Amino acid sequence: MSIELRNVTKRFGDVPAVSDVSFTVGEGELVALLGPSGGGKTTVLRMIAGLEVPTSGDLFIRGQRVNDVSVQQRNIGFVFQGYALFKTMSVFDNIAFGLKIKKWKKADIADRVGELLKLFGLDGLARRYPHQLSGGQRQRVAIARSLAPRPGVLLLDEPFGAVDAKIRQELREWLVQLHDDLDVTTVFVTHDQEEALEVSNRIVIFSRGRLEQIGTPREVYEQPKNEFVARFIGVMNVLELTVRDGHARVNELSFPAHGAAEGRTLRIGFRPYAVQVSSNLGEHRHRATLKHVYFLGVLLRLELETPSGLVIRARITKEEFSRLGLEEDREVSFQIREYRVLSREGDALPPESAVAHQMSYAEGI
C-alpha cells in the first residue's frame, strides 16, 4: 500500500514536532526516516499508524484520506519502542495474538504462525517465553507478531536499537531479505545514517520537525541539498575560507577564487575519499602529519593534521595504505580532488552549474 503525507503538521501544545511535511512512500518500498533525536521521526510514524492525529494537513493510505480512520481499520503492522512482547505468553501466543483478536480459526492461526516461525528463522522456539530468547530473536518475534495479520504496511521504530553491534548487522541483512520476500511497504525510523544507507530504497531526512531531503541513499550522499544533510550523511570535511587577494584561504590552504568578493567567507565540504594522500612529500601540494589511522575493515580512515592544526579526514583502502607505505606520526603530502561549496546550514546549495564552476578550480587546492 502507498502512503502520502501532504503538508502535515503536528503540534504538542506549543511544540511543533512536525512542520509542514510532504512525502510519498510507494507501494512495496523500504523507506528510512532518518535524523537526530527530537527531529520528529517517531511522530511521523505514529501519525501513519493512527496513534497520533495531524494538527493540520492530510494523510493518505492507498490514495484514501485516513486522518479520521482508526488504528484498527488502517491494516498496518507496527513495532514501536516500548511495545515489548507479552512476557507471560510463549512465542507462539505472541505471534498469534493479533489473529485471535481478529477471530481467525484455530487451524488457520497454527498455519500462519508456523509459516512466520519458518520465515523468521524461529523454528523450534515456539514454546519459549520472551526471557528465554536473545535480543535479536525477541526483535524478530515482535516483527513476526506485527506481520501475522498480513498488514499492507509495516512500521518499525528503531528496530535494531536495543541489540548489540553484531546482531544489529544480522538483523539489517535479515530485514532487507524479509522485505524482498514479502514485498510489504515498510517505513522504519533510525538515527543511524549507516543503517539507513545500507538498508533502505529511499531515505527521508528530518531535522527539527522539518523534512530536509528525500532521495535514494546515493542521491542524499552524493547530492546533499544543504550542509545539514551533507554533514549528517557520511563523513564530510568542512572548511571555512575567506577570500583575500583573489584566493580563498584558511590557514596554509588556499585556492584561486576568481571573481569572488574580497573579504567574503565561503564554506567548502569534501568527502574523505576525495583526499589523496602520499608518503612522497613532493607528490602533492600540501603537507600534514598522519595523526591517526582507524581500521574499519577493508577501508581505513586517516586523520591528517596540517602544521597550523587543521584536521582533515581521508579514506583509503587497506591495499592502498600498504602500497603507499604510510605510517602514523609521519609527514605526508595531500591534495583535495573535489569539493562542494556549501551554503549556510538550512539553505539550499548553489545550483549544480555554480558548484561545477567552483569545482573546476578545485585542482588548485
Q: Which residues here bind ligand ATP, judged by CB under 6 A?
A: 12, 15, 17, 35, 37-43, 191
Minimum distance between the CB of residue 350 and ligand ATP, rounded to whole angstroms?
29
17 vs 362, which CB is nearer to ligand ATP? 17
36 vs 325, which CB is nearer to ligand ATP? 36
190 CB burial (10 A radius; 0-12, 13-18, 19+): buried
Minimum distance between the CB of residue 43 and ligand ATP, rounded to whole angstroms?
3
192 vs 303, which CB is nearer to ligand ATP? 192
Are residues 362 and 274 in contact, defined by beta-carbon separation less than 8 angstroms? no
Strand 210-215's sheet: what is its strand order? 76-79, 153-157, 185-190, 30-34, 202-207, 210-215
DSSP 25-53: E-TT-EEEEE-STTSSHHHHHHHHHTSS-
Return the number of other C-beta atoms located less than 10 Å from residue 55's C-beta: 15
Cell of 365: 587546492
17 vs 142, which CB is nearer to ligand ATP? 17
- Cell 519502542: give the residue: 81
Minimum distance between the CB of residue 40 and ligand ATP, rounded to whole angstroms?
4
Strand 247-250's sheet: what is its strand order? 253-256, 247-250, 237-244, 265-270, 340-342
40 vs 136, which CB is nearer to ligand ATP? 40
208 vs 357, which CB is nearer to ligand ATP? 208
Minimum distance between the CB of residue 209 and ligand ATP, rounded to whole angstroms?
6
204 vs 288, which CB is nearer to ligand ATP? 204
Q: Can you say how many angstroms the Cα of residue 31 is from the centroid of all Cα atoms in its chain?
A: 10
- Cell 514479502: give the residue: 182
Q: Which residues of 332-342 are buried (b: 16+ CB within 10 A; e: fewer)?
A: bbbbbeebbbb
Are residues 248 and 351 in contact, defined by beta-carbon separation less than 8 angstroms? no
40 vs 159, which CB is nearer to ligand ATP? 40
Minimum distance between the CB of residue 166 and ligand ATP, rounded to whole angstroms?
23
Closest CA to 276 of 261, 286, 265: 286
Minimum distance between the CB of residue 239 and ligand ATP, rounded to whole angstroms?
29
Minimum distance between the CB of residue 13 and ligand ATP, rounded to whole angstroms?
7
Q: 3-state class of 88 per DSSP?
A: coil
Gap between the terminal Cα atoms of the chain = 50
45 vs 116, which CB is nearer to ligand ATP? 45
182 CB burial (10 A radius; 0-12, 13-18, 19+): middle
40 vs 215, which CB is nearer to ligand ATP? 40
Minimum distance between the CB of residue 223 and ligand ATP, rounded to whole angstroms?
23
Q: 3-state class of 62 per DSSP?
A: coil
Minimum distance between the CB of residue 42 and ligand ATP, rounded to whole angstroms?
3
Q: What is residue 163's DSSP assignment? A: S
Are residues 103 and 172 in contact, defined by beta-carbon separation less than 8 angstroms? no
Minimum distance between the CB of residue 34 and ligand ATP, rounded to whole angstroms?
9
Rg (alpha carbons) of the chain, rounded to whole number: 25
